[in-house]
Amino acid sequence: MQSTTRRASLLSDLAVFKAQITKPILSAHQLSANLSGVHRAFLTMKFNHYDLGDHNSSVPALMNAVFDLRQALRAKITRWNNLGLMPQEVQKAARDILRDSRYIGDILGEIWVNHERLDADRKSLRAFTGTNYNTFVASQYDNGQNITFKSGDVILSRGRLQNSAAIARIGDIDSQFSHVSMVYIDPKGGHWAVESLIEEGAHIVPLQTALEHGLARAIVFRHRDENLAQRAAHIIHDRILQSRSKHGQRIWYDFTMQIDQGRNLFCSELVHRAFKEASQGSVLLPTFPTKLHMKNYDFPDRIGVTARETFAPGDLELEPDFDIVAEWQDYRTTADLRLQDIAMDKMFEWMDNENFKFRETFLIKLISMFGRTATYMSTTLQDIVFQVIPKIPPNMSRKAVATIAMLNETGQELLIPLRKHDESTAKSTGFPMHPSEIMNMLDEIYAQSPDEIGYLRRAR
């Protein structure tokens, strides 16, 4: 007699996870245990164990349920924080669930678009556009129309490049975001993004330009005190506008990642400064900062990071006084983001546990030296250099230029075989590789070359 095994319902499991997250608790220890249990369940989740039925009806409902789960968690953070229930272990478990559930939503979206992927030379969608369930809007802001931005909104985003993965994963959190910018709406209704980029420093661009800047995912956050947020946007807009004027002093990117330690600003420090000054020092972001505690400081030292505690872009996800307005992703990019994230985790693991360090070759030294010099050369010469490495600001050290170049090349060397296998797996099974499979494949790459991976070398 033939036996059959009933396949599980993903929607039912998500409902169980949500109930576990929102159940009443009496202590931080209990809360940590509840959240950690959900995280472990996500880690062992395999899509081939679930009956997804008719994808046309089941996948959109599942994507909504995953977003709803994240919203349920975030809705609890303010109360947990007010009750003193947010020690380090709870923060970590909450971040883990946000990351895990986002990966699940990504995979569902990838199934929905039949695993289409963008090559590097194809543009992603403008953020918060798309017809494939790309944008999820929080219920209190959902009017059935396109989302409406307000002055003071903060946009958390992720680019498609390898250095975006490094920014997202640096420190003691495994985030999925690498940049923040602030929305300013002028008296005539013009929408602007105020931000600080590595290559430009602090600048102001039309909001639509920022949303078209090669993004793969983004979230709009809104502070509950809208008057405070509007003041913050006005203050930082005017500050940056003056710095870019004919007689202004340029504000460059702050590679130290030290908060309030000088004139220059890194991306999330710009948002910190805006809210600090608008509140006369009473609102100090982040509430839960990222810590940079590692055994091997070779990478942060090389790029100029001196902070041991900072405001990483991903810290916004746990801010108690901000609501999520909408979350967006281009599912044609998310599979590569997942591979980049896990590869970057492994690279940092090899640096910490195996004492791997970046080692410059003659070519890398030449590129980094030429790149620094090209900042002051003609546009034609700059274009030649920037085909090899992105635009270099005058306050970026030669060593930092070399490190970013080596990081990109090493990450790309890992990404090529991962992507090939991931595409093959998706084609044969209907699902991409499980994160554990990606980690196992990276372990195999390491086993084949235990002393040298890309530009990473084991220090003797």
Each residue's pLDDT tens digit, 16-25:
999 999 999 9
| Neighbouring C-beta atoms of residue 72, cutoff 10 Å | 14
- Segment holding 373, helix H or strand E: helix 362-374
Phi, psi of 383 (to 5 degrees): -60, -35
For residue 9, give Cα distances in angstroms to 57, 381, 434. 14, 59, 18
Question: DSSP for 282-313?
Answer: S--S-SS-EE---S--HHHHHHT---SEE--G
Each residue's pLDDT tens digit, 363-410:
888 877 776 566 565 555 455 455 445 578 889 998 998 898 899 899
Q: Is the pLDDT of residue 239 over 70?
A: yes
Contact by Cβ (8 Å): 411, 162: yes
Q: Which of 101-115, 209-223, 227-241, 364-378 has the weakest average pLDDT?
A: 364-378
Q: Is the dihedral of CA 229, 232, 238, 239 positive or negative?
A: negative
Confidence of residue 4 (pLDDT cuts 50, 70, 90): very low
User: Cα separation of 34 and 176, whole Å?
Assistant: 23
Chain mean pLDDT for the chain: 92
Q: Which of 1-15, 145-159, 204-218, 270-284 has the weakest average pLDDT?
A: 1-15
Q: Is the pLDDT of residue 308 over 80?
A: yes
Contact by Cβ (8 Å): 81, 320: yes
Q: What is the predicted pLDDT for the residue at 405? A: 87
Residue type, position 173, single letter: I
Phi, psi of 10 (to 5 degrees): -65, -35
**What SS3 state is found at 173?**
coil
Q: Is the pLDDT of residue 1 over 50?
A: no
Q: Which pair of structure tokens corresponds to residue 458?
A: 């084991």
User: Cα separation of 274 and 233, whole Å?
Assistant: 7
Q: What is the predicted pLDDT for the residue at 378? A: 55
Confidence of residue 169 (pLDDT cuts 50, 70, 90): confident
Contact by Cβ (8 Å): 298, 280: no
Q: What is the predicted pLDDT for the residue at 216? A: 98
* % of residues, the chain, pLDDT over 70: 93
Please report the domains of the chain, with CATH numbers, ordered by start residue: 10-112 (no CATH), 135-329 (3.90.1720.10), 334-458 (no CATH)
Confidence of residue 7 (pLDDT cuts 50, 70, 90): low
Contact by Cβ (8 Å): 61, 11: yes
- When comparing pLDDT for 378 and 78, which is higher? 78
Per-residue pLDDT averaged across 159-182, rounded?
90
Each residue's pLDDT tens digit, 139-165:
999 988 889 999 999 999 999 988 888
Q: What is the predicted pLDDT for the residue at 388? A: 47
For residue 164, give the nearest of 109, 104, 215, 126 by alpha carbon: 215
**What SS3 state is found at 205?**
strand
HSE (side-chain half, CA atoms, 13 Å) at 34? 18
User: Cα separation of 317 and 285, whole Å?
Assistant: 12
Q: Which pair of structure tokens corresponds to residue 93?
A: 């478990």
- When comparing pLDDT for 17 and 293, which is higher? 17
Per-residue pLDDT averaged across 337-365, rounded?
93
